[in-house]
């Protein structure tokens, strides 16, 4: 066994995530998780508000501060190797790569702007690290602020990835702009989201119809076949702010279907931010709960899946730790 202390980062459109762990580099196994951290940085919301396709300098400074905090944690906990992945928002923003290059030069974090296919492969590794389903059974579903990925080895054993074009930042913008006919900018500050709450049940129904009619494309045939297999295990994974974790908290179970998700939508409909926070303690994400639940419900219907199982991971960090390509 050859053990390395690695710092893995998953830098997404809404959350910056860090996992420092001891990894057996021979067997590709996480031996021990040493330190976990995350911070909300609303890059996706900033980009949706942008008139020129650039991320605002103020939100990039927030990102830079988190990078510095993560680097300090790595020094404290003995990380000798770093790798990070940066996803949808950095692919879309015209100044995304510049921000990452500066962080790499100054902090040595080895941040990589990756394509969505590799994001799906990392998601499959992350899901499999916390699930006992076989390779033939597992269907991994990653849903972030700027995109989603569904990956599976069902069929011929080759890993296939469905690269989805929409995340909860896009859904929140669609709810506020297209359904509620309001300005998405929150309080005039770039990157600050306008709360859609209270969201009526009628508005939730309109948003669901919009997603299914125009925003979420039909899945490839292999996705539908993988989800429909009798022994399929559909796993939704992520940290405490993922659409799956929010739903699991509201439903009171880590495995659920579309009917339970819609019941949760009915319970949160018509409630203000304060009422949602008091009733459910949503860690300052009470304003995103309805867009996330509606996206989850619409996707379950689009996938034709009966159930999804929630697994808590630090986003794709577990996959980053185990992906040889990122450490070579």
Identify how many contiguous H helices and E strands the chain contains and give both numbers: 14, 13
Q: With bands split at pLDDT 50, 70 and 90, how would you rate the model's confidence at 48?
A: confident
- Say whether 149 sits in a helix, a strand or coil: strand
Give the CATH fold of the 3-115 domain. Answer: Nucleotidyltransferase; domain 5 (3.30.420)
Tell me, yes or no, if the two domains 3-115 and 131-312 fold the same way: yes
Q: Is the pLDDT of residue 188 over 50?
A: no
What distance in Å separates the CA atoms of residue 39 and residue 55, rounded to the nearest whole number?
18
Task: Read off the pLDDT band of 90 (50, 70, 90).
Answer: very high
pLDDT band at 283; cut points 50, 70, 90: low
Q: What residue spans define the domains of the chain? A: 3-115, 131-312
- For residues 18, 40, 142, 268, the Cα torsion angle rounded to the nearest 10 degrees is 140
Q: Report d(CA 328, CA 25) in Å as an integer.
A: 11
pLDDT number for residue 285: 79
Is there a cis peptide before residue 79, judged by omega within 30 degrees of 0?
no
> Would you say 299 and 216 are in contact if contact means Cβ atoms under 8 Å apart?
yes
What average pLDDT does the segment 192-206 reach? Answer: 90
**Which of 90-104, 171-185, 247-261 has the lowest average pLDDT?**
171-185
* Lowest model confidence (mean pLDDT) among 66-70, 281-285, 308-312: 281-285
The runs of H, that is alpha helices, within 229-288 are 243-251, 258-268, 273-280
Q: Calculate what percentage of the chain has a pLDDT beyond 70.
A: 96
Q: Residue 192 pLDDT > 80, yes or no?
A: no
Which ranges of the chain does DSSP label H, i.e. alpha helix?
43-49, 57-77, 88-92, 96-107, 116-129, 168-173, 201-210, 221-228, 243-251, 258-268, 273-280, 289-303, 317-322, 324-327
Query: Residue 187 pLDDT more than 50?
Result: no
Q: Is the per-residue pLDDT at 125 higher than 90?
A: yes
pLDDT at 327: 92
Q: Is the pLDDT of residue 73 over 50?
A: yes
Superfamily designation of domain 131-312:
Exopolyphosphatase. Domain 2 (3.30.420.150)
């Amino acid at each position: 066994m050859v053990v390395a202390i690695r710092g893995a980062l998953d830098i997404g459109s809404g959350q910056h995530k860090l996992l420092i762990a001891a990894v057996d580099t021979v067997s590709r196994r996480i031996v021990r998780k040493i330190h976990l951290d995350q911070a909300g940085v609303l890059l996706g919301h900033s980009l949706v508000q942008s008139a020129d396709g650039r991320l605002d300098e103020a939100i990039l400074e927030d990102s830079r501060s988190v990078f510095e905090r993560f680097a300090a944690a790595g020094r404290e906990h003995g990380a000798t190797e770093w790798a990070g992945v940066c996803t949808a928002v950095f692919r879309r923003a015209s100044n995304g790569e510049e921000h990452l290059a500066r962080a790499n030069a100054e902090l040595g974090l080895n941040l990589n702007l990756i394509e969505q296919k590799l994001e799906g492969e990392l998601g499959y590794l992350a899901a499999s690290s916390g699930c006992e389903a076989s390779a033939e059974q597992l269907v991994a579903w990653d849903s972030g602020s700027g995109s989603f990925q569904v990956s599976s080895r069902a069929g011929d054993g080759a890993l296939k990835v469905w690269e989805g074009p929409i995340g909860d930042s896009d859904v929140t913008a669609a709810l506020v702009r297209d359904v509620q006919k309001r300005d998405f900018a929150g309080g005039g500050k770039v990157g600050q989201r306008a709360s859609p709450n209270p969201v009526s049940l009628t508005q939730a129904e309109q948003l669901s119809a919009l997603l299914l009619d125009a925003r979420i494309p039909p899945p490839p045939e292999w996705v539908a076949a993988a989800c429909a297999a009798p022994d399929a295990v559909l796993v939704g994974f992520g940290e405490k702010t993922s659409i799956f974790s929010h739903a699991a908290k509201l439903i009171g179970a880590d495995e659920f279907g579309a009917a339970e998700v819609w019941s949760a939508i009915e319970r949160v409909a018509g409630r203000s931010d304060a009422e949602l926070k008091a009733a459910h303690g949503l860690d300052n994400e009470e304003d995103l709960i309805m867009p996330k639940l509606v996206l989850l419900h619409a996707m379950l219907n689009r996938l034709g899946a009966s159930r999804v199982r929630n697994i808590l991971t630090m986003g794709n960090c577990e996959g980053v730790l185990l992906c040889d390509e990122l450490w070579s």
